[in-house]
With several copies, the nearest count.
Chain A
Amino acid sequence: MDTIEKKDLIDIFGEIKIIMANNRDNLIELDSVMGDGDLGLTMEKSFAAAAETANTIEDADLGKFIMKIGMAMAKAAPSTMGTLMATGFMKGGKVLAGKEELTINDIAQFFRAFSDGIMAAGKTKPGNKTIVDALDPTATALENAAENNKSIVDGLSDAYQAALKGVEDSKPMKAQHGRAAYYQDKSIGVQDPGATAGALLLQGFYNAVSK
Chain B
Amino acid sequence: MKKIMNKAENFVDEMLEGILAAHPKELKITNDDLRCIVSANKTDKKVGIATGGGSGHLPLFLGYVGDGMLDGCSVGGVFQSPSADQMLEVTKAIDSGAGVLYIYGNYGGDILNFDMATEMAEMEDIKVVSVVAGEDVASAPKGEEGKRRGVAGIFYAFKIAGAKADELASLEEVQRVAQKAADNVRTMGVALTPCIVPEVGKPSFTLDETEMEIGMGIHGEPGIRRGALQSADDIVDEMLFPILEDLPYVEGDEVSVLINGLGATPKEEMYIMYRRINQVLNERGITVFKVYIGEFATSMEMAGASISILKLDDELKTLLAKPAHTPFFEQKQL
Contact = CB atoms under 8 A, between A and B. Distances in A.
* A touching B, CB within 8 angstroms: yes
Interface of A: 32, 36-38, 71, 74-75, 78-80, 83-84, 86-87, 121-123, 177-179, 181-183
12 contacts: A32-B204, A36-B219, A74-B84, A74-B116, A78-B109, A79-B109, A80-B109, A83-B81, A83-B116, A84-B112, A87-B112, A178-B108
Contact of B108 (A32, A87, A179): A179
Contacts of A80: 81, 108-109, 112
Contacts of A78: 76, 80-84, 86, 109, 113
Interface in B69-83: 76, 79-83
A4 to B, nearest CB: 27
A32 B205 CA distance: 10
Task: State which size class the interface on B falls in.
Answer: 20 to 34
Contacts of A36: 79, 197, 204, 219
A182 B222 contact: yes
Contacts of B83: 74-75, 78, 83
A205 B14 CA distance: 39
A194 to B, nearest CB: 10
Contacts of B113: 74, 78, 83
Contacts of B197: 36
Q: A-B pairs with the 7 shortest C-beta distances? A: A78-B83, A83-B112, A178-B108, A80-B109, A182-B221, A80-B108, A78-B81
A165 B81 CA distance: 31
B115 A121 contact: yes
B147 interface: yes
Interface of B: 76, 79-86, 108-109, 111-113, 115-116, 139, 147, 197, 200, 204, 217, 219, 221-222
A182 B134 CA distance: 14
A40 B30 CA distance: 30
Contacts of B84: 74, 78, 83
Nearest to A184: B222
B85 to A, nearest CB: 5
A37 B199 CA distance: 11
Contacts of A86: 116
A54 to B, nearest CB: 19
A135 to B, nearest CB: 15
A87 B109 contact: no
Given A38-B80, A74-B84, A177 B108 contact: yes
Contact of B85 (A75, A177, A178, A183): A75
A159 B106 CA distance: 34
Given A78-B113, A83-B109, 10 more contacts: A36-B79, A36-B219, A78-B81, A78-B109, A83-B81, A83-B83, A83-B116, A84-B112, A87-B116, A179-B221
Nearest to A122: B112
A122 B219 CA distance: 21
Contacts of B147: 181
Contacts of B85: 71, 74-75
Nearest to B222: A182
